[in-house]
A and B are shown apart, each in its own frame.
Chain A
Amino acid sequence: MSSCEAAVACSGLVRRFGDRDALSGLDLEVARGEIVLLVGPNGAGKTTLLRVLATVLRPTEGEAVVEGCSLPGQARKVRGRIGFLAHEPLVYPELTVTENLELYAALHGVAGERVATLRERVGLARRGNERAAELSRGLRQRLAIGRALLHDPSVLLLDEPTAALDEDGRSLLRQVLAEEGRTVLVATHEPEWFSGVATRQVPVRAGRVAA
C-alpha cells in the first residue's frame, strides 16, 4: 500500500518527552475505510500516536501523513478532517450539552443546526440544557462522541472509546463504526469488543509497532 492511497501513514515517527521516547520510530499505514485497533500495554505509545495524528502534539522526528496532508506542516487542513475522542471528554463541565456542541461547531465552522442533529444522534436530545458536569460519566462520553462527530470527519481517532459506556452507548459506538467510508484508529484494551467491525489489530509496544 503506498502512502498516497493511505488515510494515515507514519514513517519513523518519534515523539520525545524530555529524555523519554513515547514513540520511537513508529511505522504504520492505514488504508481509507479501515478500522484499525491499536493494542498494547499502558505506556506503549498508543495515546501519543493518536495525539500526534490529531495534530495536538508535534512529532519530534519522522513523518506523519493524514489524508494526504503532512504533519505538522499541513496540520490546519488535517484538523477539519479528524475527529478525536480522547481519554477526557474535552468539554467544559460548566457549559451545557448544547453550549459545548455550539462552541465546537463554531470552532469547526459547522452550521449551528448540526448541533441539534448530533444531540439527537448521541441520545442527548432532552439533555441539551444540562451542564456537562451534571451528566454521568457515560453520558459525558456520549457528548464527547457527539463532539468528535460534529464536523463529519473522515478519520476518527478513538482513545478507549468504550470506557464508561453502557449498553446503549456501546450500541451507538457500534453504529458510528459501522458507517462506511470512515477511517478509524482505536486505542483499546478491549479488542474483543470490536471483533466483527475491526479490520485488523496493530500491536504497539515501546513506541513502535511490534512485529
Chain B
Amino acid sequence: MRAFRALVRKDLVLELRTAEVVPAMLVFLLAVFTLVRFALGSSRLAGGSRAATGMLWAVVVLTALLALTRAFAQEREHGIWDGLLGAPVERWIMWAAKACSLWVFLAVSQVVAVPLFWLFFLQQGPSPSIPVLIAALLLADAGIAVLGALLAGLASAGRAREVLLPVLFLPFAVPLVLVASDLSVATISQQPSGFETLKRLGFLAAYDTIFALLGWALFEYVVEE
C-alpha cells in the first residue's frame, strides 16, 4: 500500500509541477465545445439535448486520450522504467497507481467540463439527470483509467505509440460510450425505471471490473517485454 500511495503521489506532484496533462485536457474540451457551439451558431444541436449529451461522451473519451498519451511519458523519456522495474513491487501495483492518477485527472477535467457543457448546450430545454450523469461519468472514468493504464503501458514500449494508443483504445471504448451515453440520454425526456438505470450502471461497473482484472493479470507482461 505504501508503494501504491507513493506512486500516486508522485504522479499528482508531477502534474502539479509540470501541468502537462490536465490543462491540455481543459483547453481541448473548451476548444471542442466552442467550435461546435459556434459552428452551429446556436446552443441547440440539431438533435437537441440528446445529441448534445451524446457529444459530451465522445468528447470525454477523446479528451481521455490526451491523458493516456502522457501516462507513462516521464518514465519513457527519462528511462525511469528500469528504476521502477528493478524495485521489488508487484507490477499490478504500478498499473493500479497509474489508473488511480488517470482517474483523478479525468475527474478533475470533468469538474470543469460538465458545467461548461451545460453553459454551451443545455441552457434551454430539458437536461439529463445530474446524479445519473455523475454516476455514469465516475464509472466510465474508472473504466477508461483501468483500460487506459494497461494500453498506455503497452503502447509506451512501441515506437509508433501516438498512433498505436488511439487504435488500441478507441475500439474498446465504444461499448463504454454507447452505454454511458444511452444511460444519460435516457434521463432527458422521461424518468427511466430505476431498474433500467441500475442495469446500465451495472454494465459500466462490469466493464470496469473486467478491464481491472485484465490490467491486474497482464501489466507485468506488458511492461517487462
CA distance A93 to B88 in the complex (A): 22
Q: A58-B224, A92-B14 are in contact. Are A104 and B79 (CB under 8 A)?
A: no
Q: B2 near A109 (CB under 8 angstroms)? A: yes
Chain B residues with CB under 8 Å of A99's CB are 10, 13
Interface residues of A, count at CB 8 A: 31
Give B213 Cβ to nearest chain A Cβ, in Å: 21
Q: A106-B6, A107-B84 are in contact. Are A94 and B17 (CB under 8 A)?
A: yes
Q: Which of A51-78 contact B (CB under 8 A)?
A: 51, 54-58, 72, 76-77
Q: A95 near B13 (CB under 8 angstroms)? A: yes
Candidates A88, A106, A109; contact of B79 at CB < 8 Å = A88
Q: A58-B225, A108-B87, A109-B88 are in contact. Are A88 and B18 (CB under 8 A)?
A: no
Q: Which of A82, A90, A104 has the largest number of chain B CB atoms within 10 A?
A: A90
Chain A residues with CB under 8 Å of B85's CB are 55-56
Q: A106 near B86 (CB under 8 angstroms)? A: no
Chain B residues with CB under 8 Å of A107's CB are 3, 6-7, 84, 87-89
Q: A92-B10, A94-B14, A107-B3 are in contact. Are A79 and B82 (CB under 8 A)?
A: no
CA distance A44 to B209 in the complex (A): 46
How many chain B residues sit at the interface, stated as a range, is 20 to 34
Candidates B10, B79, B88, B90; contact of A87 at CB < 8 Å = B79
A102 interface contact, C-beta 8 A: yes
Q: A54-B86, A95-B10 are in contact. Are A106 and B78 (CB under 8 A)?
A: no
Q: A55 near B86 (CB under 8 angstroms)? A: yes
Chain A residues with CB under 8 Å of B14's CB are 92, 94-95
Q: B80 near A76 (CB under 8 angstroms)? A: no
A147 interface contact, C-beta 8 A: yes
Give B132 Cβ to nearest chain A Cβ, in Å: 39
